[in-house]
Structure 1
Amino acid sequence: MSQPTLRQLSFLTAIADHGSFVAAAEQSLVTQPSLSAAIKELEAVLGAKLIERGRNGATLTPAGEIAASRARAILSAVDELGEAVQGAAEPLTGPFRLGVIPTIAPFFLPKVLPRAKEAFPKLKLYLREDLTSRLIDGLRAHTLDAALIALPYEAQGIDTLPLFDDEFLFVGPANHPLSKKPVLSASDLEGESVLLLEDGHCLRDHAIGVCGMTRPGQEEVRATSLFTLVQMAAGGLGISLLPKMAADAGIVADGLTIRAFTPPVIGRQIGLAWRRSSGRLIEIKALSAILKSA
């Protein structure tokens, strides 16, 4: 009995991703007739129609949806097989693709990269800075091997390892009443106009939790990065919360007050995430030790 080939399965998932034979062929670096022929062969092998052509492109039939889902799992398993064999043969060598969220990358990586290079000279780290949700997508798509994110974060098929806690500090204009308050606690932020990052940043959600903000739209001005947020606070637009790792890295501005809360506010936990089926656990565990030590 004939069996589907990996080539046919990859073509099917490409069509599922793009909804178009043309786009799928371009991604797969083949001609459209070659891709169409391979899909017809796959349909013959499986004994079911998988793709419906229409004016709006190509759509999967119910059988095609099932086939595409299984195809992804098979292709993923093949990728994991290669990673596992290569990792066992010569661990801590070759490329390793690490994702990092923007509120960590510029402040923490300068400490980590020299240590990682010294400890694992044959391991080539490739870095990608992006929001958590897109980093998780990258892990699932095998475009990333691990990601440094804020925890907790639940995602199917993803394992995480806590590394360290990150304290939140108060940041605001020097003339703000809270900047001059002898003892500052997190409860003092309730009812204040708090500057936050824009939607999509996990730091925004952690800050909202600390500030006790429950009403949507309580804040009107949102920053695109911590650097912008600090400048906005220095300009008198409001107060905010700043991760201690960013403060320690020297993200300051004139006319700005940065101070700790009493008791200290642990705003988030930093950890490493990876595919549960990853074949690079040796590298992940070794890298986690370097990250934790930093």
Structure 2
Amino acid sequence: MLPRISEEITFRKLEILITFLESGSLARAAERLGTSAVSVHRALHSLEAGTRCALFRLEGRNLQPTDAAHALADVAREILQRMDEGINATRAIAGYGAERIRIGSLYSLTSGTVPSMIMALKARKPEVQAELILGSNSDLIQRLRDGTLDAAVMGLPESAPELETHALFDDDVFFAAPAQSPYAGQAAIDLRDCAEERFVSLQEGFVTYSRFVDAFRIAGFEPQIVMKTNDIFSLMNLVGGGIGCTLLPGRVRAVLPPSVRLIPLQERYAVRQTIALCFLRARERDPNLLALLAASRTLRLGGH
């Protein structure tokens, strides 16, 4: 069973004791601590109440420490040092201000957005090593909640009040079809004309799948999905191979296979994705996350 320490004894009061002994007077201790001499005097006498012994004696108008006060101060220095080390170790394990930052990302953001952010972060904090973890929106949100990610670049969550979110850019969603498809030559796609078409899609949990569902809800029918996949690059290759059409965000244009074309949707079916940098609100003062946020704001990000 742990010993019970009086509530009168606190880290702050031990710090005041050490400062008083080092400075030699109430006034100088108060100046160093940014408080008043009265507050210092009150804290020292509170320590006497907590230890239940005399720590000081009056010599004229001066407060003189006893051997007991010096003994307590020696222990206090060790305790405060150990606690500081313990807090730093705890923060490092949790990822706060550590020399490593774990960044989650959607697959579709690895071709430009996330590498640019990491390079900008390295310019600000070269000592920090970045670890990249890929997944769907739902995967990344759960990892943030579990503490296995420090931050994530993903679609703006619709309901996650525990997350701090900072929008980076908006991205239009396009109809994707094989280059030889009759759709490829159209100026804009009316989804109602695609009711008999075969489609491929991402799995549930991806923000692109959510916008896929939204667009077809507007069109008033459920698409015939013949295959699903877990990454957007495989999805593009399925389209290029003629397996089916799909909807893709504009940011993949730079890495689109030659066999795939992106065609705008008619305005009535227009859906967009908001890409955001997200992390737990409880960690909003973490120096690594603040540096990552500042780095993201210096970049010209967008859905290429």
- Corresponding position: 1:197 with 2:237: no
What is the distance in 2 between the residues matched to 1:219 and 1:166?
23
Partner of 1:237: 243
Q: CA RMSD in A?
A: 3.5
- Corresponding position: 1:142 with 2:147: yes
Superposed structure 1 runs of 4+ greater than 6 Å apart: 78-81
What is the distance in 2 between the residues matched to 1:222 and 1:239?
12
8 Å CA contact 1:99–1:146 kept in 2: the answer is: yes
Partner of 2:232: 226
**Alignment partner of 1:236: what SS?**
coil
String of CA shifts for 1:233-291, please: whole Å, max 9, x gaps: 1122222222222112x23133x222344659452101122112116444323322323
Structure 1 residues 80 and 278 mapped into 2: Cα distance closer, same or farther (>3 Å)?
farther
Structure 1 residues 200 and 266 mapped into 2: Cα distance closer, same or farther (>3 Å)?
closer
Partner of 1:62: none
What is the distance in 2 between the residues matched to 1:185 and 1:136?
33
Amino acid at match of 2:160: A
Partner of 1:247: 253
**Alignment partner of 2:224: what SS?**
coil
Match of 1:287 among 284, 292, 303: 292
Q: Matched residue pairs, number? A: 214
8 Å CA contact 1:207–1:267 kept in 2: the answer is: no
Amino acid at match of 1:166: D
Q: TM-score, normalised by structure 2?
A: 0.59
String of CA shifts for 1:191-235, please: whole Å, max 9, x gaps: 243321123323211122123366667322223322221121112
- Corresponding position: 1:109 with 2:103: no
8 Å CA contact 1:99–1:127 kept in 2: the answer is: yes
Correspondence list, 1:48-197, <5 A: 82-83=90-91, 94-181=99-186, 183-185=187-189, 187=191, 191=195, 192-197=197-202
- Corresponding position: 1:258 with 2:255: no
Structure 1 residues 81 and 267 mapped into 2: Cα distance closer, same or farther (>3 Å)?
farther
Partner of 1:20: none
What is the distance in 2 between the residues matched to 1:102 and 1:80?
33
What is the distance in 2 between the residues matched to 1:153 and 1:172?
29
Partner of 1:278: 283
**Alignment partner of 1:169: what SS?**
strand
**Alignment partner of 1:127: what SS?**
strand
| Larger Rg computed on CA atoms | 2
Structure 1 residues 236 and 279 mapped into 2: Cα distance closer, same or farther (>3 Å)?
closer
Q: Which runs of 5+ in 1 are unaligned?
A: 4-77
Identity %: 23
**Alignment partner of 2:253: what SS?**
helix
**Alignment partner of 2:239: what SS?**
helix
Structure 1 residue 178, shift from structure 2 partner: 1.8
What is the distance in 2 between the residues matched to 1:80 and 1:203?
40
8 Å CA contact 1:148–1:270 kept in 2: the answer is: yes
